């Protein structure tokens, strides 16, 4: 099936079960068993079905199936946020004493999670250059459990060398995890390029309207074989899980990675997605393709305008021919479309602040992927407590402005930026 069709129908057949045109919300905490045997079968995985909404929920299940199909994966698990998706994806393979290799260009929340919070759990992070993976292989050791990177990074808007990262990972038998939030399941499918695990913050483009926080983990087909072949690196997928009456994940004919993340991590850490948010995401994912094309086309138009403006010193947008990422965007992303994020540089701090204060259509918001266009000047907003030296150390340029292009007519967006730059 084509992705536009999956986005509307995936995981739900209205000729069966509920029969409703719109997917219903199973707004419930728990589910009634038919009898004692039914309950026992569900707990023993002899029969699949819902027990308690922390573990499974029929509305969320439809979204999971839809996501797995959209990304070309074998299975998916929805969780309460993008941060929870990243945490579970890492915690599913790494434990105290292990390390993960992480890209030098990541979302700020991912950086603090991976370099600070996980350190307290005994999991360390080593940083590699995702643009060319030049220092990746030399940092892999026997305790390396995952390579984590973003396909199109937020906020740097850099495109990873996916092919090279995957090649090195496969040669060394290390799991790859790609955060595909900014590119979205419409513009890019990491699994088709050999990536093992995809995560999304569905709060961004999947939702597209800034109305719900959510996250998802998707796994490729055939991971049981990968875990068996690399059983020394991934023993806990091959040995009995004492916390689940001796279950050996690789012996279960279900997608192994999300099964373990559900049965062990969601059970114990509990960042379950609310059925209502699953339902909201099922509404918005129907239009993902149309929205991503529009975000991308409008962003290219705005980026081209900015590039010609005398007060703009430089523009970073992978869709521009002048971008260092242009070639990779053409190679990896559907029709070379590069999503809705742009950053640009103006003369100095005051000029940047003036643009922020003068923009009328753009909301000053630290989010991305909304239907409304957003603008942020990190140096005068999120990082305004820092002095110039501290800003520099944090990699924040006082002249950088970031845009998330929404679904407005780009003529109006260009007009607004034009007057703000005057
Ligand atoms: C926002 C974001 C996250 C975190 O997602 P939340 O849903 O806010 O928890 C992770 N990765 C990327 C690339 C993001 O943009």
**Which class for 215: exposed (0-12), middle (13-18), buried (19 or more C-beta within 10 A)?**
buried
Query: What is the average pLDDT score of the chain?
Result: 96
- Domain shared by 55 and 129, yes or no: yes
Give the pTM: 0.97
Helices (H) and strands (E) in the chain, counts: 16, 12
Tokens at residue 273, please?
Answer: 């997605």
| Domain membership flag for residue 7 | no
Nearest CA to ligand 1 atom 8: 82
Please check whether residue 5 lies inside any domain of the structure: no
Among 237, 263, 283, residue at a domain's last position: 283
Q: How confident is the model at residue 146 (pLDDT cuts 50, 70, 90)?
A: very high
With a 6 Å cutoff on the Cβ, whether 203 touches ligand 1 is yes
Q: Is the CB of 181 under 6 A from ligand 1?
A: yes
* 198 Cα: distance to centroid of ligand 1 (angstroms): 13
Task: Report how far ligand 1's centroid is from the alpha carbon of 316 (Å).
Answer: 21
Give the list of residues 6+ apart from residue 314 with CB closer than 8 angstroms, or none.
Answer: 344, 345
The CATH number of residue 297's host domain is 3.90.1150.10
CA atoms within 13 A on the CB side of 50: 18
Among 81, 86, 107, 178, name the best residue to mutate to test ligand 1's pocket (greatest count of ligand atoms within 8 A of Cβ).
Answer: 107
**Does one domain contain both 206 and 74?**
yes
Tens digit of each residue's pLDDT (9 = 90 or more) over 345-354: 999 999 999 9
Q: Name the residue with the closest Cα to ligand 1, atom 4.
A: 82
Is-contact 280 212, C-beta < 8 A?
A: yes
CA of 108 to the centre of ligand 1 (A): 9
pLDDT digits (tens, 9 = 90+) for 157-181: 999 999 999 999 999 999 999 999 9
Q: Are residues 205 and 248 in the same domain?
A: yes
Give 244's DSSP letter: G
Q: CATH no. for residue 149?
A: 3.40.640.10
Q: Hunting for tokens 């607004």 — which residue is that?
A: 416
Range of the domain at 104: 12-283
Q: Is 96 a member of any domain?
A: yes
3-class DSSP state for residue 12?
coil
Is the confidence at residue 38, as pLDDT, over 90? Answer: yes
Determine contact, residues 128/99, Cβ cutoff 8 Å: no
Is residue 215 lining ligand 1, measured as CB closer than 6 Å? yes
Q: Are 154 and 129 a contacting pair, CB within 8 Å?
A: no
The tens digit of pLDDT for each residue in 52-108 reads 999 999 999 999 999 999 999 999 999 999 999 999 999 999 999 999 999 999 998
pLDDT at 394: 67
273, 369: one domain? no
In angstroms, the CA 68 to CA 325 distance is: 28
- Has residue 18 got a pLDDT over 90? no
For residue 3, being part of any structural domain is answered with: no
Helix (H, G, I), strand (E, B) or coil at 102: strand
User: Does the residue 377 lie in any domain?
Assistant: yes
Q: Are residues 262 and 304 in the same domain?
A: no
Q: Report how far apart, in Å, the C-alpha atoms of 138 and of each of 133, 170, 175, 279 are.
A: 10, 14, 16, 44
Beta-sheet pairing, 341-346 with 312-316: antiparallel
* Claim to verify: residue 163 and residue 67 sit in the same structural domain: yes
Ligand 1 atom with least separation from CA of 367: 1
By mean pLDDT, which of 233-247, 250-264, 371-385 is the weakest?
A: 371-385
Q: What confidence score (pLDDT) does residue 389 get?
A: 79
Q: Output the CA 227–ligand 1 centroid distance in Å.
A: 28
Report yes or no on 2 lying in a domain.
no
Total count of domains within the chain: 2
Residue 388 banded pLDDT, cuts 50, 70, 90? confident
Atom of ligand 1 nearest to the CA of 182: 13
């Amino acid at each position: 099936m084509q992705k536009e069709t999956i986005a509307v129908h995936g995981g739900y057949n209205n000729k069966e079960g509920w029969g409703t045109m719109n997917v219903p919300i199973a707004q419930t905490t728990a589910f009634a068993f038919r009898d004692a045997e039914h309950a026992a079968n569900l707990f023993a995985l002899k029969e699949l079905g819902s027990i308690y909404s922390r573990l499974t929920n029929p509305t969320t299940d439809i979204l999971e199936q839809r996501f797995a199909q959209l990304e070309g994966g074998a299975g998916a698990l929805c969780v309460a946020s993008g941060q929870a998706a990243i945490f579970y994806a890492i915690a599913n393979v790494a434990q105290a004493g292990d390390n993960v290799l992480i890209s030098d260009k990541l979302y700020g929340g991912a950086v603090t999670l991976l370099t600070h919070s996980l350190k307290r759990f005994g999991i360390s992070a080593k940083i590699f250059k995702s643009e060319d993976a030049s220092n990746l292989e030399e940092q892999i050791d026997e305790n390396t459990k995952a390579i984590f990177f973003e396909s199109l990074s937020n906020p740097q808007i850099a495109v990873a060398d996916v092919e090279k990262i995957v090649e090195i990972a496969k040669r060394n038998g290390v799991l790859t995890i790609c955060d595909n939030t900014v590119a979205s399941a419409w513009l890019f499918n990491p699994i088709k390029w050999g990536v093992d695990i995809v995560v999304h913050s569905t709060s961004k483009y999947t939702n597209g309207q800034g109305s719900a926080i959510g996250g998802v983990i998707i796994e490729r087909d055939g991971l049981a074989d990968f875990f068996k072949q690399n059983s020394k690196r991934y023993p806990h997928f091959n040995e009995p899980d004492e916390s689940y009456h001796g279950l050996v994940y690789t012996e279960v004919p279900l997608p192994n990675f999300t099964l373990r993340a559900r049965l062990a991590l969601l059970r114990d850490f509990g960042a379950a997605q609310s059925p209502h948010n699953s339902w909201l995401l099922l509404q918005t994912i129907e239009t993902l393709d149309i929205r991503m094309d529009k975000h991308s086309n409008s962003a290219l138009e705005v980026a081209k305008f900015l590039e010609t403006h005398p007060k703009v010193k430089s523009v970073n947008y992978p869709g521009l021919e002048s971008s260092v990422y242009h070639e990779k965007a053409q190679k990896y992303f559907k029709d070379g479309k590069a999503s809705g994020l742009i950053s640009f540089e103006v003369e100095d701090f005051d000029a940047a602040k003036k643009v922020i204060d003068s923009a009328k259509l753009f909301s000053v918001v630290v989010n991305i992927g909304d239907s409304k266009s957003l603008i942020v000047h990190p140096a005068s907003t999120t990082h305004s407590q820092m002095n110039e030296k501290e800003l520099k150390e944090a990699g924040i340029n006082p002249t950088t402005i970031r845009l998330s292009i929404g679904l407005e007519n780009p003529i109006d967006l260009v007009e607004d930026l034009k007057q703000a730059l005057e």
